[in-house]
Amino acid sequence: MKRTLKKRRAVLVLLAAVLLLGIAVRRNPAPSAVPASASITDWGLSFQTEGAPPVANATSEALAPYHALYMGDPAEKTVYITFDAGFENGNTPAILDALKKHGVKATFFLVGNFLQTEPELVKRMAAEGHTIGNHTYSHPDMSKILGEAEFREELQKNEDLFREITGAEMAKLYRPPQGKFCEENLRMASEMGYTTVFWSLAYVDWYVDDQPTAQQAFAKLLPRVHPGAVLLLHSTSSTNASILDELLTKYEEAGYTFGDLSAYCSDKFGTPAPSGAPLPFR
């Protein structure tokens, strides 16, 4: 009898403990899993075969649902010339001269500082047929910006500045500063009507006080060029200003033509992309 009572008491104590634990869990629920969209990804490329497109850390197929890309048609010997411009240090006029000489329509991804301090150069870019893309207002690490209001503000400030300068609307092309992004960034950009543009060809040209020689630049930019290449250059590079004419000539001699990135993106995607499935990042 005593043993039976003890067993009953033990069961009651156990039930009471389970009940209290359940209350505690409801009051202090376990944190939800971190969404995949919060994962930070730095854009990266691996060049494996000379003259062939590199392997990126997200495939074209994975990026497409978000209206994002890093290269054009790999079956076409076309190069898309793009420049990232954070500030002006005297090299842009020579770059524009070389582009004009070759009849190339480039895409300039501008930050707020450039728009605010160089309105005449912005007007010249637009007047000569170049596309002005959005490189954010303050050049932050966008992968850390998951709030829609803050994300929109970074892009809309530039849209407003460009409209004030030119009276026109900024192209719906967006390049994340330093290639830092996450899935949520891609989704928000596509819902704003933007195509996110990465790149498939670049070299280390952004250290203003440690510029590569022309030979070093050509050693990277010539063997790695490939059909559909989206070339990223920085307009602050004195090397780029001095070699661009010759670089474009060498690409032409190799049978390449130069494409209009804005037109390509418009043909490829048309309207803003819907929210996509999680990206199978590598």
Residue 28 forms part of a structural domain? no
In a domain, 204, yes or no: yes
Q: How would DSSP label each residue in the chain? A: -HHHHHHHHHHHHHHHHHHHHHHHHHHSPPPPPPPGGG--EE--EE--STTSPPEESS-HHHHGGGTEES---TTS-EEEEEEEESS-SS-HHHHHHHHHHHT---EEEE-HHHHHH-HHHHHHHHHTT-EEEE--SS---GGG---HHHHHHHHHHHHHHHHHHHSSPPPSEE--GGGEE-HHHHHHHHHTTPEEE--SB--S---TTSPPPHHHHHHHHTTT--TTEEEEEETT-HHHHHHHHHHHHHHHHTT-EE--HHHHHHHHH-SPPPP-PPP---
Domain for residue 146, yes or no?
yes
Banded model confidence at residue 39, pLDDT cuts 50, 70, 90: low
Instruction: Please say if 234 is a catalytic residue.
Output: yes
| Domains identified in the chain, total number | 1
* Confidence tier at 17 by pLDDT (50, 70, 90): very low
The reply to whether 38 falls in a domain is: no
Decide if 67 is catalytic: no
What is the structure's pLDDT at 41? 86
In a domain, 220, yes or no: yes
pLDDT at 267 over 50: yes
Domain of 111, in residue numbers:
61-269
Among residues 67, 84, 226, 260, the one annotated as catalytic is 84
CATH at residue 125: 3.20.20.370
Residue 172 forms part of a structural domain: yes
Catalytic residue among 67, 130, 234, 260, which? 234
**How high is the pLDDT of residue 22?**
35
Residue 282 falls inside a structural domain: no
Q: Dump pLDDT digits (tens) for 104-133.
A: 999 999 999 999 999 999 999 999 999 999
Q: Residue 125: inside a domain, yes or no?
A: yes
